A and B are shown apart, each in its own frame.
Chain A
Amino acid sequence: MQTPTLFALLLLLVLVAYGTGFSRAIATARSRGGVRSLASLPNYYGVHTALWCGLPALVILGLWMLFDDAIIRTLVLGGVADKPETISGQNLLYAQIQNLAAGNLIGATTPQIQAAADHLVSLRQSGRWMQTTITLILAAGLGVYTLLRISPELRAREKVEKVLRIILLACACAAIFTTVGILMSVLFESLRFFQSVPVTEFLFGLHWSPQMALRSDQVGSSGAFGAVPLFTGTLMVSAIAMFVAVPVGLMSAIYLAEYAGNKVRAFAKPLIEILAGVPTVVYGFFAALTVAPFVREVAQSMGMEASSESALAAGLVMGVMIIPFVSSLSDDVINAVPQSLRDGALGLGSTKSETVRKVVIPAALPGIVGGVLLAVSRAIGETMIVVMAAGLAANLTANPLESVTTVTVQIVTLLVGDQEFDSPKTLAAFALGLMLFISTLILNFIALHVVKKYREQYD
């Protein structure tokens, strides 16, 4: 049976289990004087039966699908008499067998491979048959067993809630394990990188030129992996972006939260949030084709030298991109300041602006700071705009009119194209990713801490 059909059948069984569990609970309660004599509501007996019917079968099915291929492969290759010694040779052979079994391979085959392919097909068929039988028998068996155990004394609600708690825990763990997994994969690749390039050179080197020749006798056979220009570039672009986004975002939030009438607010807030929906690639076009030339022209008209791709152009557009982020977070925080504080200030004869400046903003400040720090981590992680508008040259410069490059841009360029996966050039991307991960992690940590520490101040 095909897997989707099996799933559908399983779902049907679960529904039946729920229904029979529910009605059996009511039936057993009838002789004892109604539903009130049950330890839990009849609903919970249904869910209890359904869970026992569905969950173990699903787990078995999932495990089966996970290890199915590996087991079949071992069995098939074990049946081949003279198989190659190397793993890549075995992979090739197995691919051949698979293709033959699927009917894709046209051409000469040895009888041995033909036999292995037949073996594979038969294994797959019997495997699928076993899978179907085991899953359904398990589901039906456990369902019936649970059904038979239903009695008014069975505390179905407690059991159901226990299972639900485990499911919730599993979901929470999924996010945590993903983070740990990402960190681990980046960490191990970085460690390999640091075997060929010393950590100190990476952290404090002033020159970035990640060229690694394939052969040692080629030109530029040794690269330079000093990440300082990348981090200064990232810092400069992010700083310019925050310079745009924080004042504009904050002030628009103040306007929306404190001054705008309901009509203006209903109209302006979604419009500002549209900015957040623009894909970053589109911002990238805008930065590269409109803002960067404009910046250069303005700089030249003032007698300054400006390159066609500049940190300023990328930073300005990135700032615009972050405006809705800052404004919507600040807007929420400002709205959360209790009206009683505003009334208190107005009641003392403050003007509207005094109330905003001296009472509302100080009260909302922790939240605003938290929002801004989150926006900073967003700016640091932003890639597309910088790729298109800031350039690729790793200049160590403090002049925003020159082209710079950022950590994220370099990660992209290092990993795009054909390369060996174990050369320092490629591995450098992981080291950069690790650094980026750590710095945004620290920023997020600080942001959350600031928000948490001052959150209850006005309650």
Chain B
Amino acid sequence: MSTMTLNAGEAVPAQKEATQPVAEQTEVKSRAANPNSQVDGTVGSPFCDDAKLRMRNVNVFYGESQAIHDVSLDIGRNQVVAMIGPSGCGKSTFLRCLNRMNDTIEGCRVEGELSLDGEAIYGPKVDVVPLRARVGMVFQKPNPFPKSIYDNVAYGPKIHGIASRRAELDEIVENSLRRAGLWNEVKDRLDKPGTGLSGGQQQRLCIARAIAVSPEVILMDEPCSALDPIATARIEELIDELRENYTIAIVTHSMQQAARVSQRTAYFHLGKLVEVNDTETVFTNPEHDLTEAYITGRFG
């Protein structure tokens, strides 16, 4: 990693970026052609009006080394934001800041302002437990609990006391499984272990488990990387349906996937947010040379 210094004020607000003259933009491109070159600030439009999640000047450290450098980004309500970038660029780390999953990693330190509906995520009085109930997460590798399918989905509602009666719980489980598109496949074997399902089914079970606690935001960390194309297609469809009710941030290594499911795309490079734009813009007319190099497959 290059040992450049960054000052906090350098994150370029969207308005200013939008009004930049063309000449200056081409300069940005030529400056950034080398994948190891330095990145100053973010190009594109990292901010939006109706932001569900608002991040400003976020820095993340693992012990001494800095994983995220001064990232500012908004995630709009009922929007799917895809985060792409080469391995080790910090997109998963950034995602895990949003529900404070990084707290479980020893030596991890998060700086900057992060807020959910205007409430600080890292505030001194914030209890992570209700926060994580509001911001659910689906992981890279399907990780169903070694319990029955029913108990996997019912786990969240049970610990949060969402359902008081068995019938209510049954309804939540059925609804969640239906919305995850898994109900028809498992309705006859709800008492069988969740670990006995196929990989794609397990991942949909994990999504059902996440939506059973009715979160507002769902974070997905490469949810399809362990799945075959058919299972991937089902999950992508599902993400599109879930967008009606949830705000979704998804990390992915597949650019096609980012293009298919997201409205906005953020490109990370070496711990910095290089470009954020509408997905279509990013994939048809990227502003930054690094973004272009990545999506056209010149590295990454």
**Residues of A participating in the B interface, judged by any CB pair closer than 8 Å:** 261-262, 338, 340-351, 354, 358-359, 362-363, 457-459
The A-contacting residues of B in range 136-194, CB under 8 angstroms, are 136-137, 139, 141, 143-147, 155-156, 159-160, 193
- Which residue of the partner chain, among B101, B106, B130, B144, contacts A261 with CB atoms under 8 Å? B106
A360 nearest in chain B by CB position: B145
- Which residues of A sit under 8 angstroms from B106, Cβ to Cβ? 261-262
Instruction: Provide 16 A-B residue pairs closer than 8 Å at the C-beta atoms, listed in order of the A residue.
Output: A261-B106, A342-B104, A343-B101, A343-B104, A343-B139, A343-B143, A344-B206, A345-B145, A348-B159, A349-B156, A349-B159, A350-B155, A363-B146, A457-B146, A458-B146, A459-B195
- Interface size class on chain B is 20 to 34
Bound together, the chains give a CA A350 to CA B146 distance in angstroms of 16
Q: How far is the CA of A346 from the CA of B134 in the complex (A)?
A: 12
CA distance A338 to B132 in the complex (A): 20
C-alpha gap A274/B213 in the complex (Å): 46
Q: How far is the CA of A459 from the CA of B143 in the complex (A)?
A: 9
How close is A352's CB to chain B, nearest CB, in angstroms? Answer: 9
8 Å CB contact of B155 from A342, A343, A348: A348
Give the residues in chain B near A348, CB-CB below 8 Å: 132-133, 136, 155-156, 159, 209-210, 213
Instruction: Tell whether, in the assembled complex, residue B101 and residue A358 are in contact, meaning their CB atoms are under 8 Å apart.
Output: no
A351 to B129, CA, bound (A): 6
Given A344-B206, A457-B193, A349–B160 Cβ distance below 8 Å?
yes
Interface of A is mostly: helix
Chain A: which residue is nearest B99 at the CB level?
Answer: A347
What separation, in Å, do the CA atoms of A324 and B105 have in the docked complex? 28
Chain A residue contacts of B132, Cβ below 8 A: 346-349
A448 to B134 Cα, complex, angstroms: 43
Contact partner, B101, options A338, A347, A351, A362, Cβ 8 Å: A347
Interface centre among B141, B159, B213 (most CB of A within 10 A): B159
Complex Cα spacing A350 to B145, Å:
13
Residues of A within 8 A of B143 (CB): 338, 340-341, 343-344
Chain A contacts of B131 at CB under 8 A? Answer: 349
User: Chain B nearest CB: distance from A75 CB in Å?
Assistant: 70
Kindly state the separation between the CA atoms of A354 and B158 in the bound complex, as whole angstroms: 11
Q: Min CB distance, A348 to chain B, in Å?
A: 4
Contact (Cβ within 8 A) A347 B139: yes
Q: How far is the CB of B93 from chain A (nearest CB, A)?
A: 14
Within B185-244, the residues touching A (CB, 8 Å) are 193, 195, 206, 209-210, 213
